Structure 1
């Protein structure tokens, strides 16, 4: 792999500084969002690589539902084009788009509230047309330095990097800015992408429309939910086969959790540093029940891994039951899922057309045609 795609100390120092400043702005937004939800327009989304698991649910989906319930307008991109960055085939993309939307509906995102819209990349051509002016605002050196892309390239084991992967952060900027998104719920690992979006917004405004800025400069909305580990103690990932899927039956969930990794100490304690696998299962129970992980551990006592897994199975199945019921209900009506996507695409295109007209005008490229 080329040296420029490896992480270095400068990358890490920049990432740390970005995180501290982003955290400060995120805390201010969380404080203001319940009071002034109309000020915020949220862009978030998912690559449709298959059905979602509880890592997605607790790490991102629950946060998106919370933002929706606070009253903010939310656009959810199903990033089907971006599946092609590290996969040779798009054979399952159509099915996966359907599955992802079912999981979103199950989690509580509501396209009937007039504020939540689902759309796919491939059906909003005006969004993708923003790539050309945006690419003109970014240097290849800036793309070389992006630590998130470097990590994705390393994790995928890519020997050659296609241009779509290389320009992934610019595509994300188009996702965010086409609808004038000013808030983006992200994890720490996605902050370098968002930082480039912020640069693109500022550069476009400064170069083409300094008196009347076209784009907002978006901020991150960070979550304090810890990383959810898989059943093997590693990061939960479909590629590792260590996931608990939202759509699983209670019996399937119980079977998977029986194989979850713990340790040899029968006395259950909450010790994230020295007992990360046990701590992960205790945190999951805590998320489901609202009880502190230390209290959960004390109740299990010397019951060992078996009692811990049984407690988690019961808590997780109870927590997921209403979501699974909603998912099963919507799965019986594929026409509804298609309608949700169709309506969301129509709204996204309205936004994208209006934004693209503003962009053309700012760049003196409307030629009197609009």
Structure 2
């Protein structure tokens, strides 16, 4: 199976789709290790505030790894996506600044990565119109990720921007001809929709030539970090997070209050003891040790000892990131210059892409 293997067309065969995506992802990891040339990664986040360790271990650390491996990196600050499901948008400028600070603090290098915002790149967003001509309403309505976002927002009616969110994401990826998108399993439907849009554009408008690549999902190898309240994914809205910007004392306090269970002996059992396993996973990610090894070391010392150890190794691991973050916060002018430079480059690429799209569609006058 190669990295260019086509995805199944039957939307009901989710298991087969995941299997194909996993094999393509494995092939990509092998290519990255041997020769990353020709790979262009597009990734990003909604600016809803500062980031937490779930973001860090789940995606940020991996982005830095790919950047350092030589993969061309494009990082989107998806400010337009803040308004897809929110009636009160809050301080978007402040949230963008927090997000950018976290990006740079963890090691995303603006000399090797293009960091840009949705709203500053008009040509990217204009691609939404021709891309919408390539999808049907039922295709958009049955996207499981859109349904999940709608449910999480507590809404019964879907807004137009939410409905077309997968198409907007396709524009994000394809405007720069991205061909590699690091995602979790739950985001696969979006990548498959982007592949369909690229394929249909090439067939309908580009005469069968591959102008837009069909991007591949690079599936995350990182385990999911649960919230400290147990049972939920780590989420800022639930207040169950350890934020990257927190102090060591704040982190220790958060970890002390983390939910565990009444069993004294510490074991690594993600199914039967998810809260304990979560702390062991965090400690393992910070130290490079297996969670089972840490559990055996703690043994009968109980959850209190586990919490102390987890807080200590987490604070040690985050110390250089937090130090860098503190430096960056003192220089907002530098942060703005990074974003402006990224927006300038993104606009140049988006303008070129849109010009070519108009040409192949016969819309140059």
Match for 1:217 among 214, 217, 233? 214
For residue 149 of structure 1, what is the aligned residue in structure 2? Answer: 146
For residue 301 of structure 1, what is the aligned residue in structure 2? Answer: 299
- Find out whether 1:277 has 2:275 as its counterpart: yes
Shift of 1:190: 0.7
Q: 2:119 & 2:285 partners in 1: Cα distance?
A: 36
Q: 1:349 & 1:222 partners in 2: Cα distance?
A: 28
- After superposition, the C-alpha distances for 1:90-136 in whole angstroms (9 at most, x for unaligned) are 23111000000111111111102xx3011000000000000000000
- Find out whether 1:318 has 2:316 as its counterpart: yes
Q: 2:45–2:77: 8 Å Cα contact kept in structure 1?
A: yes
- Find out whether 1:179 has 2:168 as its counterpart: no
- Find out whether 1:82 has 2:81 as its counterpart: yes
- TM alignment of 1:45-60, pairs within 5 A: 45-60=44-59
Q: 2:32–2:69: 8 Å Cα contact kept in structure 1?
A: yes
Q: 2:203 & 2:325 partners in 1: Cα distance?
A: 46
Q: Which moved more, 1:343-352 or 1:154-163?
A: 154-163
- TM alignment of 1:248-263, pairs within 5 A: 248-263=246-261
Q: 1:277 & 1:157 partners in 2: Cα distance?
A: 26
Shift of 1:310: 0.1
Q: 2:117–2:343: 8 Å Cα contact kept in structure 1?
A: yes
Match for 2:357 among 352, 356, 359? 359
Equivalent position SS for 1:202: helix
TM-score normalized by the length of structure 2: 0.95
For residue 288 of structure 1, what is the aligned residue in structure 2? Answer: 286
- After superposition, the C-alpha distances for 1:213-265 in whole angstroms (9 at most, x for unaligned) are 21011000011111101111121001111000001000000111110011111
Q: 2:203–2:209: 8 Å Cα contact kept in structure 1?
A: no
Equivalent position SS for 2:44: strand
Shift of 1:211: 4.8
Poorly superposed stretches of 4+, deviation over 2 Å: 13-17, 210-213
Equivalent position SS for 1:216: coil
Q: 2:13 & 2:141 partners in 1: Cα distance?
A: 14
Q: List gaps (5 residues or longer) in structure 2.
A: 1-9
Q: 1:357 & 1:269 partners in 2: Cα distance?
A: 59
Match for 1:130 among 114, 127, 130? 127
Q: 2:203 & 2:51 partners in 1: Cα distance?
A: 40
For residue 164 of structure 1, what is the aligned residue in structure 2? Answer: 161
For residue 32 of structure 2, what is the aligned residue in structure 1? Answer: 33
Q: 1:169–1:193: 8 Å Cα contact kept in structure 2?
A: yes
Equivalent position SS for 1:262: coil
CA RMSD of aligned residues (A): 1.1
- After superposition, the C-alpha distances for 1:326-364 in whole angstroms (9 at most, x for unaligned) are 111111100011011000000000110110011011101
For residue 6 of structure 1, what is the aligned residue in structure 2? Answer: none
Q: 2:363 & 2:113 partners in 1: Cα distance?
A: 32
Q: 2:43–2:75: 8 Å Cα contact kept in structure 1?
A: yes
Q: 2:194 & 2:23 partners in 1: Cα distance?
A: 18
Q: 1:235 & 1:83 partners in 2: Cα distance?
A: 19
Q: 1:294 & 1:159 partners in 2: Cα distance?
A: 43
- After superposition, the C-alpha distances for 1:250-294 in whole angstroms (9 at most, x for unaligned) are 000011111001111111111111111101100110000011111
Equivalent position SS for 2:89: coil
Q: 1:182 & 1:224 partners in 2: Cα distance?
A: 19
- Find out whether 1:191 has 2:188 as its counterpart: yes
Q: 1:15 & 1:122 partners in 2: Cα distance?
A: 34
Q: 1:214–1:358: 8 Å Cα contact kept in structure 2?
A: no
User: Matched residue pairs, number?
Assistant: 355
TM-score normalized by the length of structure 1: 0.94
Q: 2:21–2:217: 8 Å Cα contact kept in structure 1?
A: yes
Match for 1:242 among 240, 245, 268? 240
